[in-house]
Amino acid sequence: MDKKNLFELRKEFLKRELTDMTISGNPFEQFEVWFSEALKLDELEANTMYLATCSADGHPNVRTVLLKEYSAEGFIFYTNYKSRKGKELEENPNATLLFYWKELERQVRIEGITEKVSREESENYFKSRPFESRVAAVVSEQSKVIANREVLNNKFEELKIKFADGNVPRPESWGGYILKPSKIEFWQGRESRLHDRILFTEKGAEWIRERLSP
C-alpha cells in the first residue's frame, strides 16, 4: 500500500459521546459500565488489554494479555514471572494497560504500579484453567529461545500423559500481577476527531476528574 492510500484511511466516530453529566465520578464504576457494555455487544474477548512495560535501561515493550479480575484495588492478569514482561516488571514495576473496544469506539488507558498477587490467588486461578492450558504453562519457558516447534509439541504430549489424572502443579514461575492505578483515562471517539477524553488522577484518597483536549 502506497503512502497516498494510507493518507486516505480514515473513519468518523459517530456512535456515542462522553459528557460530564453521564460519566461517573468514580473511575472503577465507569470502567464497570463500559466493560459491561463491551461484553453485551459480544466484543471478541472484551477482556483483551495491551500491557506496556519498560526495562530498567529505558527500553519499552508492549504485548496483549487478558484481564482476569478487577476491583477498586486494581486490574489482575497472569503470566510467567520469568518472561520478558516478568523480568521488566521486576526491574521497573510501573506499567500501563490499554483497552480498545472497536465497536463502541472507546479506549481506556490505565497507568499504575504492579505487584505480584498472593500465592493463594495464583493457585486458585491456575486450578480453574482448562487442563491443556495448565499443561502448556508447565511446558512453556516463556520468551526463551527454543530449537523448533517439535520441542514444544513433544514435551506437551509427554506431560499430558504424566498428568493424565488432571493434577497439574502450578510452576513457581507462573502467577498473577495486579496493576494498582494512579491514572485512568476514558476516551470516546467523536466526530471530526474532537474526541472526548476524561482523565481521573488519584490524589490521596480521592480521584480528581479532568477533561483533556483531544
The one catalytic residue among 10, 16, 129, 193: 193
**Residue whose C-alpha cell is 472484551:** 46
Cβ(18)–Cβ(31) under 8 Å? no
Distances (CA, A) of 63 to 17, 40, 66, 118, 182: 29, 25, 10, 23, 21
197 catalytic? Reply is no
Where is 196: in which H helix or E strand?
strand 196-203
Where is 64: in which H helix or E strand?
strand 60-66
Type of residue at 101: W
**Residues with active-site annotation:** 193
